Amino acid sequence: MKVAILQMEGTNCEEESYMAFKEIGAEPEYLHLNLLRPGMLEDYDMLFIPGGFSSGDYVRAGAIFAARLKAKAWNELRKFVEAEKPVMGVCNGFQVLIELGLLPGTDGISDVPEAALATNESNRFECRWVHLKKERDSIFSANVPDRIVLPVAHAEGRFIASPRVIEEMEAQRQVVFRYIAPDGSKPDYPWNPNGSINDIAAVVNSYGNVFGIMPHPERAFFWYQHPDWTRIPRNRGDGYYVFESLMRIIEAKNR
């Protein structure tokens, strides 16, 4: 499975992501936005938008990345999504997918954003680990246990959308992960680290092939990346299982 990891100035989680794909047997390749030419996307089986601060997140997190990607390859991107090839965005990548209108994608693809990842309620960038509850299976979550921990590191992650969009998302069961308190109860700050509506941490579009997640699975790929590994032994990092879920597609491809 050939995975395009999109890059531009300020994306900076691409190396961890590259390694994660490599480890599960995919063929990741960096693709710089400046080198993206017509027809190039077609060659890939999956598109991945990594975390970071594309263009400094000036204007708004992910906005410049999204606008530039849209200007360069909107039609191809639409085709990619409509062909139901997987598209995944982590953190800044999630922000880009929202700004592109590819997520929440309650009704496929939207030409204008239908949601926002707004400034955290705490008004601060925060780097911390959170507890997550898996709400559904998808090609991105099939192998993930029901409860995991992952790190977040963002200043703009508060998921907002109109009541109508939220309702549709919930009705179509598009929420893949929610923040949760360690005892399983409804999370207050900091368990919900940004104030997202309905504690939304990750969503998938209505087709099931575009996935955005604020926490960083690629930073929790190995057990020793967990903050509490000196307390709790694990064989793998919890983020590994997100990538492992994608292996099914790889295997299908290889068959």
Instruction: Tell me, yes or no, if 127 is annotated catalytic.
Output: no
Q: Toward another protein, which CB reaches closer, 131 or 134? A: 131
Q: Which residues bind another protein (CB under 8 A)?
A: 9-10, 12-13, 15-16, 19, 32, 34-35, 51-53, 55-60, 63-64, 67-68, 70-71, 99, 112-116, 118-129, 131, 149, 151, 153, 158, 160-162, 182, 190-191, 195, 216, 218-219, 221, 224-225, 227-231
**Nearest to 110, CA basis, from 95, 118, 99, 119:** 99
Residue 255 Cβ vs another protein, minimum distance, rounded to whole Å: 30
Q: Measuring CA to CA, how many Å separate 3 from each of 108, 117, 158?
A: 22, 25, 28
**Nearest to 201, CA basis, from 94, 108, 63, 66:** 94
CA distance 188 to 158: 13
Return the ∠ at Cα 95 (arms to 110 and 183), rounded to 5°.
Answer: 115
Q: Toward another protein, which CB reaches closer, 209 or 225? A: 225
DSSP 81: H
Locus of tokens 């992650």 = 157
CA distance 23 to 8: 23
Question: Annotated catalytic residue: which of 99, 154, 218, 226?
Answer: 218
Q: Toward another protein, which CB reaches closer, 9 or 45? A: 9
CA distance 255 to 250: 9
Return the structure tokens found at 52. Answer: 């970071």
Q: Toward another protein, which CB reaches closer, 85 or 131? A: 131
Residue 253 Cβ vs another protein, minimum distance, rounded to whole Å: 26
Residue 177 Cβ vs another protein, minimum distance, rounded to whole Å: 16
Question: Annotated catalytic residue: which of 99, 131, 156, 216?
Answer: 216
CA distance 179 to 176: 10
Residue 172 Cβ vs another protein, minimum distance, rounded to whole Å: 18
Instruction: Tell me, yes or no, if 216 is annotated catalytic.
Output: yes
Q: Toward another protein, which CB reaches closer, 230 or 254? A: 230
Residue 51 Cβ vs another protein, minimum distance, rounded to whole Å: 8
CA distance 155 to 124: 6
Question: Annotated catalytic residue: which of 14, 16, 91, 131?
Answer: 91
**Catalytic center residues:** 91, 216, 218
